[in-house]
Structure 1
Amino acid sequence: MAEYLSPGVYVEEFDSGAQPLEGASTSTAGFMGLAQRGAVEGVPLLVTSMAEFLREFGAHLSENAFGSYRFLAYAVEQFFTNGGSRCYVMRVAPSDAKPAVNTSEESKVLAISAKNPGTWGNQVRLAIAPASKAKTQIYEVLGAPGESKRYRVKNSAGFNPGDIVAFSDDNGKQYNKIISSQDNIIELAEPLEGKEEVVDTQLLPAKVLTTSEFTLHVFNGDESETFEKLSLNVSAPNHVDKILARSNIVTVQDVTVGSDNGIVAPFEVITGADEEAGKYDIVLTDGSDGSIGSLSAGDFIGEDRGPGRRTGIHSFIDNDVVSIMAIPGVTDPNVQLALVAHCENLGSRFAILDIPRDKTKVADVLTHRDIFDSSYCAMYNPWLSVFDPVDKRNIFVPPSGTVAGVYSRSDQTRGVQKAPANEVLRGVVGLDVQYNKGEQDILNPAGVNLIRHFSGQGTRVWGARTCSSNGLWKYINVRRLFIFLEESIKNGTNWVVFEPNTEQLWARVQRTIDAFLTRVWRDGALAGSSSSEAYYINIGPQTMTQDDIDNGRLICVIGVAPVKPAEFVVFRITQKTGSE
């Protein structure tokens, strides 16, 4: 409670009404798969356009090299074509994939490798050039002639202990190392040759003391990076390891840390050539995409190596934005079951599953479908014909990326309560298999959502069922609506934690959730002609005992009536006779 010690007027603010509760996003997708480049561990990367995907993960993969694992780029392209606005992407690579490295003389000083595995790193080129970050002139030699190592300079800014410096005059350059630098007094490792000869007080000095660094240029196709005035002095803020950590193309490590390079210019230490050479080129080699034969379900499932180092599906644990998940073209039951388990455990996302392309017969499709029983996933078939920019022809791709775009488009235009079905697929010119009504009569009740072509109506998603055997969670929009409600309430009521668990708090919580659910009902997501028919909120003695309160639990019971899709539209027509 505030203290009042001096007479006066005090104004205080306090919250008494409902807190505004914002709806969670449901249209952000998460994709995994093989790509030309990109990190294989860490956190998934946000991508907001196909152009950004191409910059970060490279171009479409060829069928000859990557076979049935090449569909990530096609799925992301289809996602954006069909109305998706943002997605997170995580790359998977075979266990025997290797980054390109430098193997020539400079590798004894700088170990340089491509940022991540792949043959793309073999195209990386680097250029090293001498540079200097600071220069000054010597005003006075402090100490005995020919023995002093201390000098008063015009400005010691930029001269750090451990830096290599060069003193230049008419006789050429002599290199030295800084022992200490403070208050315009610099102490060197060795005395400079001469005493009076090193002093220059002219306005335009002919004798200068300069630091000795190098600049590194990195090139990868049209992409380039420049890192200026780098040092091999590990204690300096411009040490090469510290600055190159920002690179998106290469990883650089100074392998001489802890050893003495002597009083030699960094450019010469790295290249073995004098600074007069001006430039030194480095190429990376031995990068490998790995062999497709070495890929296994474990590469896609990934490993939990701790925060920031997870791989595969586990990498999405650190992401709380994604609400739609897909691994395009990967139909291994072990991977798909792991993806479904991931969605169920988090409870905040929904998986879109592909069916193997070779399984086109109804019996074969049902065999794959029967592996799953979950309301957190849906299965689509058949594969779709789209244009391939690599081979300049139409190819068949898995439907998961396209359907994820339809989910996102439907959510943004109609809302998550609208079943993502009877929606036209954009960019699709044909189907691998055209199923008829009789075949769908078997597959639809089993939870396989077919994509069908209708004359004059284009190619459409013609199913909206989950892979669940529980009739309550039969429809995709019902499960995704509950994900939306749960995530929105969880994110918007964080302020309740540690508040006094009293009737005043219960009333505020009820008003907050009531205002949110009223808005959801008015948007058409809940059934009922009034809000009381659409939902109820119970909080207080009817939901909590004194034991709950004593143990810090606030329990609020919420019931909602979700709208269900009109899956079967029946018009009953009879003949009207004259006597009736």
Structure 2
Amino acid sequence: MAGEALPGATLTFAPRGSDTEPLRTDVAAFIGRLRRGPVAAPVRVESWNDVLAAFGPPEGAFATPYALRGFFENGGRTAWVLRVSGPATAARTRWTAAGGGGLSHPRYDVVATSPGEWANGGRVAIRYRASTVAGPPTVSVRVTMPGEAPETFPGLPPADLARRLTASRYVRLVPVGPPAAPGKPGGPAPISASWDLTLTGGTDAPPDRDAYARAVADQAELPEPALVALPDLGTDLTGGTRTDLVLELLRTIAPLHDRLAVLDVPPDLTSADDAVDWAAALTGTGDTALLGCAAVHHPPLRTPEGHALRTVPASGHVLGVIARLDAERGAHHTPANAVVLEAVDLAFAYPEPQQVRLFDAGLNLIRCTRGRGLTVWGGRTLSADPRTRYIAHRRLVHLLVRAVRRVAAPLVFDVNSPELRLTLVRAVTSVLLSAFRAGALAGARPDQAFQVVCDDTNNPPEQDPGQVVCEIDVAPAVPMEFIRLRLVLGQDRGLEVIEA
């Protein structure tokens, strides 16, 4: 982030804690609609103020900003945001700086920093002052956008104006045509001049399946997120297209073994029957590996919005709860029975028989209980297989995979040898010992909690010398079934993690 301190001087601030931390399991990725901000470019935010700076205030028609606010209000600390949009245009206007006075070009387009209607009606006031005994010529710029805090850039050097305005959250200056003639940039200059410009022509368009699919692929390339939400998906897509996109998300994250998708029942499906049918369309695939990557929390929440209440999807608040418990207790603790903050009611309540039906269909309900308020009731994925059914179980796997990946990845180009195998076993054992001491694993002793095998039994002499296999058996504290992870280090394909 850069801001003007004095004419001719720029002060740059490095965001605190901006380095990615792939070992964390409390970082979320949000894919959805926002008022402004880059499209199809992930942005890392560490607070609600960061969200406002990058994407503007909440837009009433979009759910993602409110989900992000719920995430941070419930204890979330870091999120990646991917704005999705259909074909859209950025608002703009033409500025002809007649008489220039040191400007590098006589004409510029003033263009909003991102597409959308958000910048329509935005005003850019430009004031030029010629050189005096006090100093050289300067240009001051004030940018005012509807519903946003104004920006002021005083005392900028004319020749460097376009570059200095890259610090603006709202606009960019794009030179038009050839530069000013050498020796007489922009022609003769007046003593002072002013221009008042208005931006127009910005358009929005709802994202289609392809826009969401690109964002899904982009989030998979980010090493940090361990949680994923798509708060606007249920509104933007419908029917089978919506279901296909969810399945594509799960097929994308399942091979990674390091993240969980928290889904919302589409907002147009308000009855218990509709919600059960929607869940059945996903669970009907029968693929427990995919279904173990997804959890559904329902119903939507009612949150304060000034003097009124707004209905928002539950996923953002639930991700905040999971992130908060992760920091307090560890990834292996279930989010069940945890209190949801900054929400005052449920969007609708189900009678107890319908609650049972929803629970049996694999949905985790949020309930309003006397004396505690809103609480998350249930900590299960959509999978019916005991090995992939529990959120705490899956997130322990995600933590182990991230930790093992960190220690094993630097070894992928080493030659298969007893020394390499011993190094790998020591590194993996260190990770598992840490998990055992944190209470994430079962057993009274480490040998009851895990086992690491990387020897001639799974690396016979006839095996490709460029490949090393390491098998890990882990017993989570709850449930008691063992998890088996198989690591394959290959010089031609890096590190591959397979869950048996």
- What interval of TM-score do these two structures reach, taking the shorter chain for normalisation? 0.7 to 0.9
Contact 2:32–2:231 under 8 Å retained in 1: yes
- The residue matched to 1:59 in structure 2 has which SS? coil
Aligned partner of 2:63 in structure 1 is: 71
Distance 1:49 1:345 in 2: 30
Distance 1:45 1:61 in 2: 18
Deviations 1:90-143 (A, max 9, x none): 222342x321211353597212201111333232414152567xxxxxxxxxxx
Aligned partner of 1:378 in structure 2 is: 295
1:103 aligned to which of 88, 94, 97: 94
Q: Number of residues paired by the alignment?
A: 433
- The residue matched to 2:32 in structure 1 has which SS? strand
Aligned partner of 1:30 in structure 2 is: 29
Contact 1:425–1:461 under 8 Å retained in 2: yes
Deviations 1:488-517 (A, max 9, x none): 110122332333422122222212211221
Contact 2:441–2:476 under 8 Å retained in 1: yes
Aligned partner of 2:76 in structure 1 is: 84
Deviations 1:360-417 (A, max 9, x none): 333211110012241111111111111123xx30121110001010110111111111
- The residue matched to 1:493 in structure 2 has which SS? helix
**Amino acid in the other structure paired with 2:328:** T
Deviates more, 1:400-409 or 1:332-341: 332-341
- The residue matched to 1:532 in structure 2 has which SS? helix
Identity %: 26
Normalised TM-score (structure 2): 0.79
Contact 2:381–2:391 under 8 Å retained in 1: yes
1:281 aligned to which of 164, 186, 195: 195
- The residue matched to 2:38 in structure 1 has which SS? coil
Deviations 1:192-212 (A, max 9, x none): xxxxxxxxxxxxxx9xxx9x8
Give the C-alpha shift of residue 247 in structure 1: 4.4
Distance 1:224 1:343 in 2: 43
Aligned partner of 1:261 in structure 2 is: 181
Distance 2:155 2:399 in 1: 45
Give the C-alpha shift of residue 453 in structure 1: 1.4
Evaluate the alpha carbon distance shift between residue 435 and residue 545 of structure 1 in structure 2; reply closer, same or farther with a 3 A threshold: same
Distance 1:88 1:382 in 2: 24
Normalised TM-score (structure 1): 0.69
Distance 1:513 1:300 in 2: 36
**Amino acid in the other structure paired with 2:228:** M
**Amino acid in the other structure paired with 1:45:** V
2:143 aligned to which of 219, 224, 232: 219
Give the C-alpha shift of residue 242 in structure 1: 5.1
Distance 1:349 1:362 in 2: 28
Contact 1:300–1:335 under 8 Å retained in 2: yes
Distance 2:109 2:46 in 1: 34
Deviates more, 1:402-411 or 1:320-329: 320-329
Contact 1:478–1:564 under 8 Å retained in 2: yes
Evaluate the alpha carbon distance shift between residue 423 and residue 281 of structure 1 in structure 2; reply closer, same or farther with a 3 A threshold: same
Aligned partner of 2:226 in structure 1 is: 323
1:114 aligned to which of 107, 112, 115: 112
Aligned partner of 1:56 in structure 2 is: 54
Aligned partner of 2:278 in structure 1 is: 368
Give the C-alpha shift of residue 537 in structure 1: 0.1
Give the C-alpha shift of residue 41 in structure 1: 2.9
- The residue matched to 2:173 in structure 1 has which SS? strand
Distance 2:69 2:94 in 1: 37
Return the index of the structure with the highest Cα Rg: 1
Evaluate the alpha carbon distance shift between residue 313 and residue 289 of structure 1 in structure 2; reply closer, same or farther with a 3 A threshold: farther
Distance 2:398 2:427 in 1: 18
Distance 1:455 1:565 in 2: 30
Aligned partner of 1:3 in structure 2 is: none
Distance 1:547 1:286 in 2: 69
Contact 1:94–1:289 under 8 Å retained in 2: no
Contact 1:128–1:279 under 8 Å retained in 2: yes
Contact 1:352–1:377 under 8 Å retained in 2: yes
Evaluate the alpha carbon distance shift between residue 428 and residue 243 of structure 1 in structure 2; reply closer, same or farther with a 3 A threshold: closer
Aligned partner of 1:229 in structure 2 is: 157
Evaluate the alpha carbon distance shift between residue 128 and residue 25 of structure 1 in structure 2; reply closer, same or farther with a 3 A threshold: same
- The residue matched to 1:413 in structure 2 has which SS? helix
Contact 1:102–1:282 under 8 Å retained in 2: no
- The residue matched to 1:459 in structure 2 has which SS? strand
Contact 2:296–2:363 under 8 Å retained in 1: yes
- The residue matched to 1:279 in structure 2 has which SS? strand
1:340 aligned to which of 221, 242, 250: 250
1:521 aligned to which of 401, 414, 436: 436
Distance 1:277 1:119 in 2: 36
Deviations 1:65-94 (A, max 9, x none): x3xxx1112111111111111111122234
Distance 1:443 1:457 in 2: 22
Distance 1:484 1:325 in 2: 15
- The residue matched to 1:541 in structure 2 has which SS? coil
Evaluate the alpha carbon distance shift between residue 510 and residue 462 of structure 1 in structure 2; reply closer, same or farther with a 3 A threshold: same
Evaluate the alpha carbon distance shift between residue 413 and residue 55 of structure 1 in structure 2; reply closer, same or farther with a 3 A threshold: same
Contact 1:350–1:480 under 8 Å retained in 2: yes
2:267 aligned to which of 357, 360, 374: 357
Distance 2:457 2:210 in 1: 48
Give the C-alpha shift of residue 260 in structure 1: 6.4
Deviations 1:275-309 (A, max 9, x none): 22423324242143425xx543333333xxxxxxx
Contact 1:130–1:275 under 8 Å retained in 2: no
Aligned partner of 1:174 in structure 2 is: none
Compare relative contact order (CA 8 Å, sep 6+) and give the higher one, 1 or 2.
Answer: 1
Aligned partner of 2:217 in structure 1 is: 314
Give the C-alpha shift of residue 519 in structure 1: 1.4
Deviations 1:221-269 (A, max 9, x none): 33334583243xxxxxx5x665555544322222234x66365333x4x
**Amino acid in the other structure paired with 2:280:** D
Aligned partner of 2:489 in structure 1 is: none
Aligned partner of 1:557 in structure 2 is: 471
Deviations 1:467-490 (A, max 9, x none): 124331011111111111011110
Give the C-alpha shift of residue 465 in structure 1: 1.1
Evaluate the alpha carbon distance shift between residue 444 and residue 251 of structure 1 in structure 2; reply closer, same or farther with a 3 A threshold: same
Contact 1:419–1:565 under 8 Å retained in 2: no
**CA RMSD, 1 decimal:** 2.8
